[in-house]
């Protein structure tokens, strides 16, 4: 079990993993989230090429992954997904800790993300990881742009918010 940079060869597995990771949303009535198409192979390839994608591997196969951006000078969790068969084993937390170290090495002041506030494995989980909700006034231009894109994609059918962990 290890975290390593994602590779081009992982991309089909990551797309499949993302589909599986969406399935728990069905149980809470968030069907459109569960059925949302994963990032395209081209999008994932960009993250891989730029060294901003990591996988948690078990027995030589990715079972969780994290994609990162830099938004307004802060690290940003673009996506973190764990296959349901490996949920509740702190794999997401290991990947988030990896991102925090990546951001610290780059002297970034914080890590941000956007999330559902009422989904137990989203907002409440990130609070336990040390993130705090941002007020609207604290949202940076880049975060506002991400939220606008999420709104356009229909993700705001359920409450969402921006969060930040200062490093």
Quote the CA–CA distance of 136 and 20 in Å, as a whole number.
32
Cβ neighbors of 9 (< 8 A, separation 6 or more) are none
CA dihedral (65, 40, 17, 30) in degrees, to 10, reads 100
Give the integer Cα–Cα distance in Å for 34 and 56.
22
Whether domain 2-166 has CATH 3.40.630.30: yes
CA distance 84 to 104: 29
Whether the CB-CB separation of 82 and 27 falls below 8 Å is answered with no
pLDDT by residue for the chain (167 residues), tens only, comes to: 689 999 999 999 999 999 999 999 989 999 888 888 899 999 999 999 999 999 999 999 999 999 999 999 999 999 999 999 998 899 999 999 999 999 999 999 999 999 999 998 899 999 999 999 999 999 999 999 999 999 998 888 889 999 999 99
* CA distances for 84 relative to 72, 77, 106, 136, angstroms: 32, 19, 32, 32
Look at residue 33 in the predicted model and tell me its pLDDT.
87
pLDDT given at position 34: 85
Using CA atoms, how far apart are residues 65 and 91, in angstroms rounded to an integer? 9
Q: What's the pLDDT at 75?
A: 98
Residue labelled with tokens 């993130």: 131
pLDDT at 32: 86
Query: Phi and psi (nearest 5°) for 4?
Result: -145, 160
Q: What is the pLDDT of residue 154?
A: 84
Residue pair 74/110 in contact by the 8 Å Cβ criterion: yes
Label residue 121 exposed, middle or buried (CB < 10 Å: 0-12, 13-18, 19+).
Answer: middle
């Amino acid at each position: 079990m290890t975290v390593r940079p994602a590779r081009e060869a992982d991309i089909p597995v990551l797309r499949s993993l993302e589909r599986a990771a969406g399935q728990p949303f069905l149980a809470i009535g968030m069907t459109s989230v569960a059925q949302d198409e994963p990032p395209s192979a081209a999008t994932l390839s960009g993250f891989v090429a730029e060294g901003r994608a990591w996988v948690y591997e078990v027995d030589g196969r990715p079972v969780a992954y994290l994609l990162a951006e830099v938004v307004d000078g802060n690290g940003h969790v673009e996506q973190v997904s764990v296959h349901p068969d490996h949920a509740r084993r702190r794999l997401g937390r290991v990947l988030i800790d990896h991102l925090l170290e990546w951001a610290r090495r780059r002297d970034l002041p914080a890590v941000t993300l956007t999330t559902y506030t009422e989904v137990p494995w989203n907002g409440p989980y990130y609070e336990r990881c040390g993130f705090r909700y941002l007020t609207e006034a604290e949202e940076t231009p880049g975060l506002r742009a991400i939220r606008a894109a999420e709104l356009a994609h229909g993700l705001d059918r359920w409450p969402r918010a921006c969060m930040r962990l200062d490093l």
